[in-house]
Amino acid sequence: QKEVEQNSGPLSVPEGAIASLNCTYSDRGSQSFFWYRQYSGKSPELIMFIYSNGDKEDGRFTAQLNKASQYVSLLIRDSQPSDSATYLCAVNIGGGTSYGKLTFGQGTILTVHP
């Protein structure tokens, strides 16, 4: 089992719809969870992080964390064509002394079509 696994893509949604991206992780001791967006040929840019169970909202983005089920998700409301990118989930596997060391999922490609 991979340490961080994202739902297989690519994911295609119509403009204005809600895009749902999921990520599961293997280590129950993980404390911090990050979502990055990566446009083709560019470097990842941070969307948001979450570390408490529940929802965290930032504009059109909502991160959801469920530590008991070991998953974290990202919802994008009112999806726009400019949201078309690869979304990377990153987890601080192990926490503690390995703080700062993130393990990335393989990414989910999202396409928002007009």
Residues engaged in binding other proteins (CB under 8 A): 4, 31-32, 34, 42-46, 49, 51, 88, 90, 92, 99-107
Q: Cβ closer to other proteins: 77 or 101?
A: 101
Encoded tokens for 74: 């990202």
* Cα–Cα dist 66/95, whole Å: 17
DSSP-assigned letter for residue 18? P
Q: Which is nearer to other proteins, 76 or 90 (CB)?
A: 90
Pick 78 or 106: Cβ nearer other proteins: 106
* Closest CB 32 distance from other proteins, rounded Å: 5
Closest approach of other proteins to the CB of residue 16, in Å: 28
User: Could you identify the residue written with the tokens 């992780």?
Assistant: 25
Shortest spacing between CB 82 and other proteins, in angstroms: 19
45 in Cβ contact with 62 (< 8 Å): no
Interatomic CA distance for residues 51 and 31, integer angstroms:
6
